[in-house]
Structure 1
Amino acid sequence: MATQTPREAPAQAGRRLDLSAPWWSSPRWQEEKRRIRGELAALEARITPRRRLRAVIRTLARHGLLRLMQDRRAAAPSAGDASHGRHPHRDPDRRLRQIGRRLRLAFQELGPAFIKLGQVLVTRQELLPDPITAELAQLLDRVPPMPFPYLAVVLDEELPDGLQTFAWIDPEPIGSASLAQVYRAQLRDGRRCAVKVIRPLVDKLFQTDIANIARLARRLQRLLPPAVAASSDLPGLIRDYYSSVQSELDMRIEARNTREGRELVEEFGTLAVPEVYLATRRVLVTEYVDGWNIKDFPVDFFTFEERFERMIDLAHLYIKEFLNGRYHADPHGSNLIVWRHSKKVYVIDWGMVGRMDALHTEAIFRHLLHIRLNQAEDAAEVMLDVFEPTPYTDVGRLKDQLRSLYIRYVDTEQAGPHNWGHLLVEEIRIAMDNHCRIPTGLSLWAKGWSAAEGTARWLCPEISYHTVVESADVQILRRLLARRFNYRANAAWIAEASELVATLPRRLNKILERAAWNDFKLPVEGRLSEQATRNLNRMVNRATLGLISGSFFLGSALLAALGGGALDRIPGLAAVTTTALWGSLGVGVYTVWRVLRSNKA
């Protein structure tokens, strides 16, 4: 190893780099570091908003995404297609999967910001069709790794003792994500560890790309129809995306989240969270868990009772997190490791932590309780406290759709199509269709809940997640009642009531004063229904078309009748006049026919 350069080391899969070897403290390694730093500095200098924008456009064009509208038309089957089997090119799911694949490949090529954007879009299942999100889901754990020497430079710069912190490190990453890579290593004191390292240039790339994405989101927001723009906040979505990624770019925040997670699992005997050994801004060193992914453990490793016990503990942990309003936002199977020595389930990767305010969390759990008791009307009323109706929302229609949805979810089965993970996504889709604003973080909350339910399905398919959540009713009610009767909550209520009592006379006096001076104004906004708007647009278009065709017809007729000399002197004028005359006559006849056909004469 003393003569092996780090450039060669990553190709040696499964081999450990002995960091105590003389090479890593030799002048050759220092020269290699200077070369890598110079290469990274040159790359960083070329990262500018204009260059990145041109690169984005070229990449999207190369993957055919600029023809996305054409793909959308091709995805819609014609009315005469009785079967997609005869016309596979018209299969909408197949076309959507192709679009999703193009998006995934383009995002992978464009780098961390776009890969992370694709991962965020996976959590917003109400915005994209399922075939597209299924393709984008591959971005969660299938990101090509970066060569180890570039990460070794980061380790050498960030850690107090540099690479000498470790006795050895495996150059083959055990995990590769959009922002960081994870390596297996051993500390000098003999403890095995997992080393998570932020990729070089990620911060600069992210800041540059997010500026372009935010500018594009603002322009798209202005182009949206008024009803869609009222319920969609694309700039707000980008701001949430920016803030979430900013926290993931600082390993000290993930270290704090991991320590808080260790405190959460202390009451559960079958669960654990890795210990944090060391954390800097770009490097996190934690305890290494030797075991299997929860989807891959041997069939005979757990008894049924042990699987059921771990399922109960995981479900109660998630419920406890959700009630706290601060939860592990990505509890899928890849982030749950079964330790082969103690059979404990370790919850890892606390980089993405979601947040939900107390009022919305309480409302969601209350509506789940109403659904289980077959109280669809009450559940719909509760969800109106979560979704924010806009002036374009038909509240009656929204409640009817929610009630119809809840009836199908009274008795849920985790293996069936009607389980709670699907319920939350369906609710968000219904709210979007009815032009409601969705609270920040609700989609991530729904994704976390759905992932928790999927984990339960893998761990113990014999027991319904519905039944497991019912076993936590006492915990849920105790937390909700404690929050409702908490003295701080009551103190806040008293402060609000006192503010109302103190300001009410002054506000009433202002209203009466304006009424006395005849200065009382009541703004009234008149809106047409979508059907009325379409009819009005159609009428205006026909009137405009008739006016234009009449003008052309009149002008052509006058020119033909009075401009005989000009017609002879100017070549081609006679043909133009004849064409305009008959063309305007045809357009006029077509307009009259459409008016008569629609009974709007």
Structure 2
Amino acid sequence: MIRRPLRIWWLALRLAVGLWWDGQRWSYPGGPTPERRSQRARRRARWLTREFLGLGSAFIKLGQLLSARPDVLPAELVEELSALQDRVPSFSFEVVQQLLEQELGERCAEIIDLEEVPLGSASLAQVHRASLRSGRQVVLKVQRPGLERLFRLDLEVLQQVARVVQRHPRWGRGRDWVGIAQECRRVLLRELDFRLEAEHAARFRQQFLDDPGIRIPAVVWELSSRRVLCLDYVPGIKITDREALVAAGIAPAAVAEKGAASYLQQLVRFGFFHADPHPGNLAVAADGALIYYDFGMMGQLSGRLRSRLGRMVRAAAGRDAAGLVAELQAAGVLAPGIDPGPVRRLVRVMLNEALTPPFSANVLNKLSGDLYELVYGQPFRLPPELIFVMRALSTFEGVGRSLDPGFSLVAIARPYLLPLMTSSGAGGNDLLGEISRQAAQVGSRALGIPRRLDESLARIEQGDLQVQIRAGETDRLLRRLALAQQSAGQSMLLAGLAVAAALLAVSTRPTLVVIPLVAGLPVGLGWLKLQARLARDGRLDQLPGMAAPPAPPSGD
């Protein structure tokens, strides 16, 4: 099995070299432009997607998980990975029969008319339709043989790659690659246990038992095991097949709205939701009911996070920037230890000026130096609990738009956000508790004002009071000046080493030329990194509202 880890490491090395090459200005004939960079990034993303497909099951699932991470991956790569679907050939019917006998034993006698041709084949399993002796129509999801051993090997190598990338001074900054790898390992290994999927399906079905517009197949527990899952056969029209829906007399726009409403119910009311709503896992019954399939990848929001999301919604509705930033910090969306000032100003401008792009130039003017702090500090994080929420919502947004070009998840979400704005819909007791909590905070702060005033006056009398003035433009200029000084120093050092190498090359001992050449290698790499940072600063300065103000007209 040594060849597979080597293949994975070789892919990681080629990807690292390719990304480095794409980031060099001189690698673009005629100079880099946004269009050329985007085209090359898309080619790189398509190449990586093909490599993931070639590596098989674990990497297909990994790509689908990474498509939920727009906070750590380029937009082009996220777009390509989000379209990554299982395209894996089926395994033989004889193997299916052997696995059923191994997993179910004598219970296999209940299964009759097992269809040889699978309904679908994916990276983890394939699905066969069957009948039971009772006449019940079911589907059997059978896991591919030898999959768990391969998964564990691939995921172990990926964690090694993540640890190496985390140590990189630039790629590891602001990103927890080790944590992402561990989360992927946890999610993917859980998906291999079909007993958990059976529990998910039963719980999900329980949530919508009273809703005739939502249909979830029931679990046949006596024919389910770790590697076999038996569910009721619930046929339907693929959700993206508009022509078939219209022919059946079903309005595609109504299906999109029903799906969005069910998703918002899952998030706001239940906190347990389907995390993989791509078109292959959604269908529409003949009576217009929405059908969910495949419950291996589910997400769950804790009561604490749902309550915090409610406070975020209330803060945003009240345009309370400070309160919203405090909730973001408490939820882990903001990295610990960062200066919240630039983020608070960004949130305040977003709440007061505009909530949707494109933004006017005066928005960037008001942010000024905060853009630098946000780029360098990289304050935003995506907690694991929210990863699946973002993935599910973005995936279903695409499904909704395929059904109805005018589909807007935000517009449909408004009535479902009202419970969040009123203490997450938990009733009057929680609302009174929130008012009491805020009143207690105001009271404690009011009682502390005399003491704080006394301390401030004492510091003024003693000459200990310090005033910090924040000048974003000055901060940027000082940072660039420091980088330029480092670059100049390293340039002089490189020049000195070059002269030494030239002198040694024509001396009586030319072999000594290797000394200044070896010494110049780390200096040269450091100089290249400084040039890259200076170039990044230059690109930020070219943003609207970041350029220096024009000189006043002369008096001539």
TM-score, with structure 2 as normaliser = 0.69
Name the residue aligned to 2:291. Answer: 346
Asked if 1 retains the 8 angstrom alpha-carbon contact of 2:141 and 2:229, the reply is yes
Q: CA deviation at 1:151?
A: 2.9
State percent identity of aligned pairs. Answer: 25
Task: Measure how far apart 1:109 and its partner are.
Answer: 2.0
SS at match of 1:232: coil
1:248 aligns with 2:191: yes
1:174-253 map, 5 Å? 174-225=119-170, 229=172, 231-253=174-196
Q: Distance in 2 between matches of 1:350 and 1:75?
A: 48
Shift of 1:276: 0.5
Partner of 1:335: 281
- Tell me, in whole angstroms, the C-alpha distance in 1 between the residues paired with 2:235 and 2:487: 68
Q: Distance in 1 between matches of 2:95 and 2:290?
A: 33
Q: Alignment partner of 2:299: what SS?
A: strand
Unaligned runs of 5+ in 1: 1-47, 85-90, 413-429, 494-526, 557-570, 584-597
Aligned to 1:326: 272
**Contact residue 336 and residue 347 of structure 1 kept, 8 A:** yes
Aligned to 1:140, what secondary structure does the other structure show? coil
Considering only aligned residues, what root-mean-square deviation do their CA atoms show, in Å?
4.3
Q: How does 1:577-588 map to 2 (within 5 A)?
A: none
Bigger mean CA deviation after superposition, 474-483 or 282-291: 474-483
Task: Output the CA distance in 1 between the equivalents of 2:104 and 2:25.
Answer: 54
Distance 1:171 1:219, change over 3 A: same
Which residue type is aligned with residue 231 of structure 1?
A: G
Q: What is aligned with 1:470?
A: 414
Pick closer, same or farther for the CA change 1:246–1:477 going to 2, 3 Å.
same
CA contact (8 A) 2:256 2:407 kept: no
- Residue 92 of structure 1 aligns with which residue? 37
The structure that has the greater radius of gyration is 1
User: Is the 2:263–2:273 Cα contact (8 Å) retained in structure 1?
Assistant: no
Superposition deviation, residue 325 in structure 1: 3.5
Residue of structure 2 in register with 1:56 after alignment: 8
1:279/1:285 contact within 8 Å kept: yes
1:231 CA drift (Å): 2.7
Would the aligned equivalents of 2:264 and 2:413 in 1 still touch at CA under 8 Å? no
Residues in 2 aligned to 1:369 and 1:331: alpha-carbon distance in whole angstroms: 28
For 1:160, what is the secondary structure of its paired residue? helix
Mapped partners of 2:401, 2:321: distance in 1: 26
Which residue pairs with 1:291 in the alignment? 236
Q: Which moved more, 1:119-128 or 1:477-486?
A: 477-486
**CA deviation string 1:56-98 (max 9, x = no partner):** 356678x9886453355489756657896xxxxxx33332232
Amino acid at match of 1:325: G
* Distance (whole Å) between structure 2 residues aligned to residue 82 and residue 411 of structure 1: 26
Is 1:69 the counterpart of 2:16? The answer is no
Q: Secondary structure at the match of 1:186?
A: strand
Letter in 2 for 1:139: L
Q: In 1, are the aligned partners of 2:332 and 2:383 still within 8 Å (CA)? A: yes
Further displaced range: 450-459 or 188-197: 450-459
Q: 3-state SS of the aligned residue for 1:346?
A: strand
Give, in angstroms, the shift of residue 237 of structure 1. Answer: 0.8
Q: 1:96/1:171 Cα in 2 relative to 1: closer, same or farther (>3 Å)? A: farther
Q: 1:408, 1:189 → 2: CA distance?
A: 64
- C-alpha contact 1:311 1:460 (8 A) present in aligned 2: no
Task: Flag the 1:94–1:464 CA change in 2: closer, same or farther, 3 A.
Answer: closer
* Maintained 8 Å contact 2:332/2:382: yes
State the distance in 1 between where 2:271 and 2:485 align. 48
Q: 2:58 aligns with which of 93, 104, 113?
A: 113
Alpha-carbon distance change, 470 to 290 in structure 1, aligned in 2, over 3 angstroms: same
CA distance in 2 between partners of 1:106 and 1:401 (Å): 39
Residue 301 (structure 1) aligns with? 248
Q: TM-score, normalised by structure 1?
A: 0.64
- Please identify, of 179-188 and 115-124, the stretch whose mean Cα deviation from structure 2 is larger: 179-188
Contact 1:196/1:283 (<8 A) preserved: yes
CA distance in 2, matches of 1:546, 1:77: 27
Q: Which amino acid aligns with 2:392?
A: G
Equivalent position amino acid for 1:347 in 2: Y
- Structure 2 residue runs without a partner (length 5+): 358-373, 438-474, 518-533, 535-556
Q: Distance in 1 between matches of 2:322 and 2:410?
A: 20
Task: Report the residue type matching 2:248 in the other structure.
Answer: F
- Shifted more, 66-75 versus 149-158: the winner is 66-75
Task: Find the counterpart in structure 2 of residue 17 from structure 1.
Answer: none
Tell me the number of residue pairs that the alignment of Structure 1 and Structure 2 aligns: 456
